[in-house]
Structure 1
């Protein structure tokens, strides 16, 4: 009698071939392709694994096996602009920072691992090692960009799930420095201390009176200034990149593009500064009485351009080096007795003084181009230069006097 042929298992059930003691080859199909996988374990465990693979196919969660390493995936992610959960590329400066963090701190330890084989325990060990030699904030930055890259891999179907969701503990950012805020008297001493400097006083006075970011300040053009309306528009910011050098970019968020109301003193300062530039471009000596309204500055003329070097002509469109500007400020501020006060603390000081005077949070946030929640959080943690909160002490003393009749 002729042997009956073995019945084939239904197409969607896959197959299991034993290749040795507790070694099996799993076979299944997904998206019209055939896949195999070597599985080590018992027959019962192999059946459980094949059922899981078939279920993933049915539910759309199947991930095609890949030999791509973590290092290769990171390179692909960076080349794509490091898109996050909003599927948007980051800025060039941020992209370069992400590339550096992952290249220096992640690739040497985990780069050779297969992306699909990366385990949460391996990430835990990486973070544990980094925490012994890096500041908490730096480790947190590593985690944020590493997690973003793996989240993108999951979204694209490169991995079944992000192993970051199973790590033991997220790296703490630590207590960041939210800056130092000056009171009005100290702010006046600091800013007026720069008056002898023809290149530093005007930009610092404008910075202190507007709360703009350094790279917004140095990107202001005369076309952004309206002396009649008493406004200054923030349309762009400087960006220092390795790939493109110094260039302009739009504000980081929609809040960044804004129009700032100016006080009379700042308007007068900017008008005087513009007249200096008009005299330079027209070759008119100081003191000569002429109608400067007839002198037009080029549309790309910066309000605070770089100073020309020896033997060079004045280029009104050439931007200052942001880092050099910050260093020059820091040296002069130290000499004036404001040791440790950074340029970006002027922004925090401006916001703090407005909030202390009762200006609504949303109004201050709109003025400086910040998120109201972030502004409040920073305001609460920002240090004052004085040693005691005398304003609160005064209120408490007055309250006590009313209660106890003293």
Structure 2
């Protein structure tokens, strides 16, 4: 075959010119407009591609050839605020998380690839490389897949690509995949579970710290960090011993720290509080009232007439030495989590690493799981627990299934099995 050969066809069928080994130029017309595309592969596949292009032109599914790259499309998708099939606008924090995942894990490998030339094997290789490097947790790798899939689905929905290559991907990251390190299960995605005794010892280690009331309320309610830090005293109903959660902090690069509704509609909820937690919050409020009125702790006075600002937070930031106390100034959520981690590690070292090895791994967010696990182990219905913590029952059950069962739960299971078996083993 010569270096350049044209396969003769009728005007309506287009034409194929060979440009090199396994390289062909396809010419065709759709609605009177002429198009030229380059195809790499054997001649038989080039003919199939030409027939597909002509068929798409007849059915109205034709997609105009474009030199748009994967990287450029990702930028366009993010600039449009990551539109999806549900047309639900994502939060700024979520948008920035999408950008971080795509920028860090997809762009380095595929940014220069023509979007219309992207194929499933390219994505399979990307996922294989991510798994081989082992630099991120399995759940994070799955998040990359979900976000990149949404990005490509939008391109297909808008007619920018003829087919969505994600539909043929075979190497989808498994969020449940277990990874091992030094013969220990990597629990980064699951979080640490503590029983009642361990949790009590952890919380006791925070006594005397400004973090103590926040840790107590987190363990007692299962509320999210950004919900707790956004609570105001006006959200507390002392008479009914309830706490209303209707806002949360959102920390973004673009807007900094700002208030927004909870993560989901389920997040808008009223939580019942136990007497001990109510007493703790009462002490915290009295402490702030004394600061407002400049009354020392040693002086016994009636504080009921001292009013806090309507925007006063339950847990405002602690001012630096010499600065005035601003009851409406929030704590930095990320700094708070880091401070919690340092304190938890300190508690672990004081208690002895062999005695409480999991304390150093416990994150503040794990208190939410510990709270819900304790309620489920106690036999509280799933939908009731989900409503309390503002979560989807299905998500709650999935996370619960991953956690280690407490000793109390194991004893309850053993007792139930014993009672059940004794019924049908009676002689």
| TM tier relative to shorter chain | 0.7 to 0.9
SS at match of 2:154: helix
Q: 1:260 to 1:23 in 2, by over 3 A?
A: closer
- Tell me the residue number matched to 1:130: 130
Aligned positions of 1:206-245 closer than 5 A:
206-245=217-256
1:194 to 197, 206, 217: 206
Question: What is the CA–CA distance in structure 1 between the aligned matches of 2:17 and 2:409, rounded to whole Å?
Answer: 77
Render the CA deviation track for 1:68-108: whole Å, top value 9, x for unaligned.
11111011111111223322332222222222222222222
Question: What is the CA–CA distance in structure 2 between the aligned matches of 1:160 and 1:382, rounded to whole Å?
Answer: 43
Residue 378 (str. 1) matches residue 418 (str. 2): no
Render the CA deviation track for 1:272-299: whole Å, top value 9, x for unaligned.
2122212212323335455534333222
- Kept in 2: contact 1:180–1:384 (CA 8 A): no
SS at match of 1:389: helix
- Kept in 2: contact 1:180–1:385 (CA 8 A): no
Question: What is the CA–CA distance in structure 1 between the aligned matches of 2:66 and 2:274, rounded to whole Å?
Answer: 62
Structure 1: tracts of 5 or more residues without a match: 1-8
Render the CA deviation track for 1:205-257: whole Å, top value 9, x for unaligned.
11111110112111111121111122111112222222223332221111111
- Kept in 2: contact 1:210–1:260 (CA 8 A): yes
Q: 1:384 to 1:168 in 2, by over 3 A?
A: closer
State the Cα distance separating 1:130 from its structure 2 match.
1.8
Q: 1:350 to 1:24 in 2, by over 3 A?
A: closer
Structure 2: tracts of 5 or more residues without a match: 1-8, 179-186
SS at match of 2:14: strand
Question: What is the CA–CA distance in structure 2 between the aligned matches of 1:193 and 1:405, rounded to whole Å?
Answer: 50
SS at match of 2:152: helix
- Tell me the residue number matched to 1:3: none
TM-score normalised by the chain length of structure 1? 0.86
Question: What is the CA–CA distance in structure 2 between the aligned matches of 1:345 and 1:42, rounded to whole Å?
Answer: 55
- Tell me the residue number matched to 1:161: 163
TM-score normalised by the chain length of structure 2? 0.82
2:379 to 354, 358, 364: 358
Could you say which structure has the larger radius of gyration? 1
Q: 1:187 to 1:17 in 2, by over 3 A?
A: closer
SS at match of 2:259: strand
- Kept in 2: contact 1:26–1:39 (CA 8 A): no
- Tell me the residue number matched to 2:111: 111
Question: What is the CA–CA distance in structure 2 between the aligned matches of 1:248 and 1:162, rounded to whole Å?
Answer: 37
CA root-mean-square deviation: 3.1
Q: 1:20 to 1:164 in 2, by over 3 A?
A: closer
